[in-house]
Structure 1
């Protein structure tokens, strides 16, 4: 949770604000993954937890269309390359800021020490555990391709066709020495 604060992905809520009249608190818990070498403990947010009125945040959010390319097409396209590589978009959801007007739906209670009082925090980025987050993340990548594609034309097909969630798989048809000769 300290990393969330340090990276600006979460901020403390100071006192009561007008926007707190319409807010939502997410339940969360830690997941320990012994086999992970980078993130042994990660936080999971539960947008599906129902309130006393029987509704959840996820039940009120629009899921959005499935913008992912067909996984079979992504894998088939890789077979046509002479050299392939894969990459991961680190903290993909947390790279995307949520509009301030909507951040009040992503509040949590947290304390770093059992003796400290519970404090309210607001998540400022897309939150894993909300049904809209996968759509919004892919939609942001597509918008990036539209807005900046003119400056990076070789990246456009990769962004539009060769990213599956936060994984990028692409390649080169030519030998790397041929690529250097062309540049």
Structure 2
């Protein structure tokens, strides 16, 4: 993570979030909604994007960077059964919040105009998308305590403490870190995969790849 200060201290907001646990943006605890959200959480656990943190709220184990983030589920009506969890890094507690301790970093997005012009250059269009781009990029171990969240699923009364190990939707630096990792991958592999590396460095706009070619065989 791009911290403005390596010695940041965040106030312990565990109890605040324990009392105000809310796992949907609207406050609704509709059964179907909970099940869809729980499926996303379980998938993140299975992939290692999220890990369980036993007794993370104990004061003697606490890190100065420890921060519990409110989170909510965004449903995409164009993707039945899908959705995305967003963690709110701008939620204030005792006058401070995670975003305040992060740098947005340099602008690494490609200029969209030349990307679109190349996309229209030839007859056959090619497009692709990096699945859950932020979740593909790891966060250094020292910053994991800043990405905690509380979770419980009906009818289980126990509140679990989970911790992200990857970049999240809802942090000020995630865009820059994900873009840097993508472009670094292209640069590091340009000798072995020159064509793919060139595509990575020139034809991606965030997680979307756009290009065009002369014939279907070339596209394949």
Q: Which bin holds the TM-score, normalised by the shorter protein?
A: 0.7 to 0.9
Map residues 83-94 of structure 1 onto 2, 5 A cutoff: 83-94=124-135
User: In 2, Cα distance between the equivalents of 1:19 and 1:93?
Assistant: 28
Q: Identify the match of residue 31 of structure 1 among 71, 74, 93.
A: 74
Flag structure 2 segments of 5+ consecutive residues without an equivalent: 1-40
Deviation at 1:176, TM superposition (A): 4.2
Contact (CA 8 Å) 2:108, 2:180: kept in 1 or not?
A: yes
- Contact 2:190–2:198 (CA under 8 A) maintained in structure 1: no
1:75 is the counterpart of 2:116:
yes
Distance 1:33 1:68 in 2: 24
TM-score, normalised relative to structure 1: 0.88
Match of 2:84 in 1: 42
Q: Over aligned residue pairs, what C-alpha RMSD do you find? A: 1.9
2:178 maps to: 137
Q: 1:38, CA displacement in angstroms? A: 5.0
Q: Which moved more, 1:26-35 or 1:42-51?
A: 26-35
* Cα deviation 1:115-161 (Å, max 9, x = unaligned): 42211111010101101000000100111011111111001221111
Report if aligned partners of 1:109, 1:121 keep a CA contact under 8 Å in 2.
yes
* Normalised TM-score (structure 2): 0.74
Q: Is the 8 A contact 1:19 1:104 kept in 2?
A: no
SS across alignment from 1:154: helix
Deviation of 1:114 after TM superposition, in Å, equals: 4.5
Are 2:211 and 1:170 equivalent residues in the alignment? yes
1:113 maps onto 2:113 in alignment: no
Distance 1:32 1:83 in 2: 32
Q: How many residues align?
A: 176
For structure 1, the residue ranges without an aligned partner over 5 or more in a row are: none
CA-CA distance at 1:99 after TM superposition = 1.0
Rounded to whole Å, the distance in 1 between the matches of 2:78 and 2:127 is 21
CA distance in 2, matches of 1:76, 1:125: 33
- SS state at 1:44 partner: strand
